[in-house]
Amino acid sequence: MNPFTIIASFKLHDGQLENWKELSKNIDTDIAKAEGFISRDSGIDADSRVYCIVKWESKTHQEAFMKQLMASEGADEMMKYFSSIANMETEIRNEVDIF
């Protein structure tokens, strides 16, 4: 299997940069435990668009992680909190197979 990468970008709601930095650290800690996880980087550009680059051993690993995450207790509340920081209407998501 080839490595698989998700590149997601979005704008933050006004005044949410510090909250995003804290949430991003928590995401790093949680996702690092997932089977097949390779790395995650997050940054922001001059137009205040946040980019997250997440690498997995395979698309299968990424899909299994998301399925488990969304089925976990508290997933709805977690997504509400995430959406209170990140403006998901501005999200652009790309899936990249690495060769």
For the beta carbon of residue 77, count every other beta carbon within 10 angstroms: 9
pTM of the complete model = 0.90
Helix H, strand E, coil C: the string for 13-24 is: CCCCHHHHHHHH
If residue 8 lies in a helix (H) or strand (E), which one and from where to where?
A: strand 4-12
Residue 71 has a pLDDT of 95
Number of domains the chain contains: 1
If residue 68 lies in a helix (H) or strand (E), which one and from where to where?
A: helix 59-71
Residue 77 has a pLDDT of 96
Domain that holds residue 40: 4-97
Residue 45 has a pLDDT of 95
Residue 99 has a pLDDT of 83
Tens digit of pLDDT per residue, the chain (99 long)?
A: 789 999 999 999 999 999 999 999 999 999 999 999 999 999 999 999 999 999 999 999 999 999 999 999 999 999 999 999 999 999 999 999 888
CATH of the domain at 19: 3.30.70.100
Residue 97 has a pLDDT of 85
